[in-house]
Structure 1
Amino acid sequence: MSTLSSSLIKLGVLTGDCDAFLLAAAAKRINKFNKSTFFCFDEIEVSRFKLDFRFEKADILRLKSELRVPDVLKMPNRTEFSGLICLCVMLRRLAYPNRLSDLQKYFGFSPQDLSYIFNSMINHVYGNFYHLLTSLQLWWLSLEHLKEFSGALVRKGCPIPSCIGFIDGTLHKTCRPTRSQQEVYSGHKRSHGLKYQSVVTPNGMVANLYGPIPGRRHDSYMLHESGLLDKLAVHLGGQEMYLYGDSGYPLHRSLITPHIGNQLSDQQKLFNLTMSKLRVCVEWEFGEIDKQFTFIDFKKNLKIFLQPVSKYYFVATILKNCQNCLYECQTSKYFGVKPPTLEEYLRNQNLN
């Protein structure tokens, strides 16, 4: 407890001054939940805040509120910390592959406390917002908005009048595991890792994320396991709308792929070229996740059987979507489609 707190408590107790006693109790509470002698939110320069935490300083309290981070978080070891500082710890850790000892110099907490804080925040965001990447029954994915997406693609030259987004798989590289190495080894990428399947819409949002599956598996296998196309067909209710994927995917009533073969007509070649230029937005968003939250791209520190690496990727994707809601991304600007607001995205506005 600080000298100021001790003096105020003595003053309140000895003189019966209720205001002094309440002030001392408040000071004691602040010291209890903000143990850091290094980190002060108000003193961080606005110009470097986004560099360190990936969100503007003016938006961080709004993000805390919409992520439903409580004012005080209780850790598994029964220590308690300010919710705002816990959010900052998670964002700072994901922003760059820092060691806990590096963050200790930044926040002033012990590595053990930082580990508790980081994992508790990851579990909080994943547990409360996982459905935003797995359910199609969301307000911003209504038929009205899907028609807006298809219109935006047509304006960019898409030859498919009812295309609503793009699908692709990515290998999230990890450290070589101590067991089951062949399961997670991708011969194509020459690396160990876990695969994920993403659907990106013209407003720059990752609308659906499936995974992880072993890195050796093919994209078509992942599509089958996800059941995404059947869910999409139900969601569309008979409407003729399609996703577009590369040649690694099979044709389906809700999925269109490029023409393949050695003797394609000029029209077919033009179709493939046009759709390839539009489909690259999926790669933009994969790259943006790794760029903004570089911690998940440092494979030497991602150990499959020791860390919840899949949770890290899901949480980073949710946060990337939150960034897009606040600042818009390259895909959104390119197609001219506004993403939902932060509140619309995180408040679970289901269609049902």
Structure 2
Amino acid sequence: MNSYLALLEISNEFDVSVARAASRRENLNDRFQRNAFKLSERMFIKRYRLSKALARALIEEVRPFMPPTLRSDALDVETKVLVALSSYAVGDYQTEIGDIRRHCIAQSSVSKAMKQVTNALNKPGILNKYVSFPFKLQERQQIKRAFYRRFKMPGCLACIDGTHVAIVCPHEHEERFYNRKGYHSLNVQIVCDANLNILNVDSSYPGSTHDSVIWANHPLNPYLERLHTVSGEDLYLLGDSGYPLRPIMMTPVSDSEPDTPEDNYQNMHLTARNTVERCIGVLKGRFRCLLGDRKLHYSPTVAAKITNACCVLHNIANRHNLPFQPLTSAEAEAERRRQEGASGSMPGTGGGASVLSQLELGSARR
């Protein structure tokens, strides 16, 4: 009888403990979300990079791809998404994020939430929905018309460039990720349209890989070649001199004489290709976890997924014309130094000092 009463008492204490843990979890999640959504719209966008409506829509979109909550004190989906958005935006690593510190969310919980949301945003149903290359002729014609209206370059479909995303030294094959600027990184290929929407991102290559090698092995390369040679479609990308000149890849002309057709082409090319520099500037201004001096503290595979996730969120924000916080002059200068020559581009053609003016305050806007 005494044993039965002892077991009953233990069971009751366990039930009370579970109830208290559930209550703590509910209070934490409710408090975090309530404080987030009571912010003004401007402050909410500044902190999470999306509007309240877009954040709520994103929560519902990723919910089917999030793992079930198993622990009684775990964060719910809403809180995980907000924590991840804040982490992407600040990039100053979890302990410095105001909401997270104020609500006593453990760093391990933040890291787990960020990985789970990142995996959800990399699901094909989400990634391919928001970062989508125009495979239909009508879509390509629309994008080419936008380039022509802005830059008077007929047939231009997109601009392409590589940007380095710094990572911690990986445990395996670290030499592959060590770039020419002396730090470990991913070399991320970005293809964008005239409106700074990212049409394609490839985050799978280590930092030692040259831009031209990534493009040479990318499936878009033979696809565009077939459109040009077989279908006879007039289209090309704009790239810097790190890429080989091809019918589908227009690069700058070196040493053009003033007031010549070559000089006119050079000026038009530089002006139009600057679109991808601005796109990268806006991407990293919105999501500072991608800045070189922040450094992603994850494996290359997870870092690549985080980069893809930020591109998804960039397109969502960009297509809704949401404001962003441009890089300061100091941030832009630091980023320029870390990017210039990291892939071995020819001096002055891979961005150079001209990138600084595009990354600085206000100049990366559309």
TM range (shorter): 0.7 to 0.9
2:309 is equivalent to residue 315 of structure 1: yes
Contact 1:200 1:208 in 2 (8 A): yes
Q: In structure 1, which of residues 326, 332, 337 is the aligned counterpart of residue 320 of structure 2?
A: 326
Displacement of 1:53: 0.7
After the TM superposition, which residues 1-352 of structure 1 pair with which residues of structure 2 at under 5 Å, given as runs?
Answer: 32-33=25-26, 35-36=28-29, 38-39=31-32, 40=34, 41-65=36-60, 67-70=61-64, 74-75=68-69, 80-103=74-97, 104-127=100-123, 128-132=125-129, 136=133, 142-158=136-152, 160-177=153-170, 180-187=173-180, 189-234=181-226, 237-260=231-254, 266-297=260-291, 299=293, 301-303=295-297, 305=299, 308-327=302-321
Query: SS in structure 1 opposite 2:176?
Result: coil
Displacement of 1:169: 1.2
CA RMSD, aligned part only?
A: 3.4
One-letter amino acid matched to 2:315: N
One-letter amino acid matched to 1:112: S
How many equivalent pairs are there? 300
One-letter amino acid matched to 1:45: S
Structure 1, residues 110-129: CA drift from partner, whole Å, max 9, x if none? 33322222211111111243
Structure 1, residues 156-209: CA drift from partner, whole Å, max 9, x if none? 343x4111111111122233446644322222x443311011111113211011
One-letter amino acid matched to 1:56: S
Distance 1:298 1:215 in 2: 12
Distance 2:274 2:170 in 1: 31
Contact 2:91 2:294 in 1 (8 A): no
User: 1:7 matched to which residue of 2?
Assistant: none
Provide TM-score, normalisation by structure 2: 0.70
Displacement of 1:290: 1.1
State the identity as a percent: 20
Distance 1:163 1:298 in 2: 30
Contact 1:34 1:82 in 2 (8 A): no
User: 1:10 matched to which residue of 2?
Assistant: none
Structure 1, residues 242-301: CA drift from partner, whole Å, max 9, x if none? 111111111233222222457788110110111101111101111111111112225454
Distance 1:56 1:42 in 2: 10
Query: SS in structure 2 opposite 1:170?
Result: strand
Distance 2:111 2:155 in 1: 47
Provide TM-score, normalisation by structure 1: 0.73
In 2 relative to 1, CA 307–241 (structure 1 residues): closer, same or farther, beyond 3 Å?
A: closer
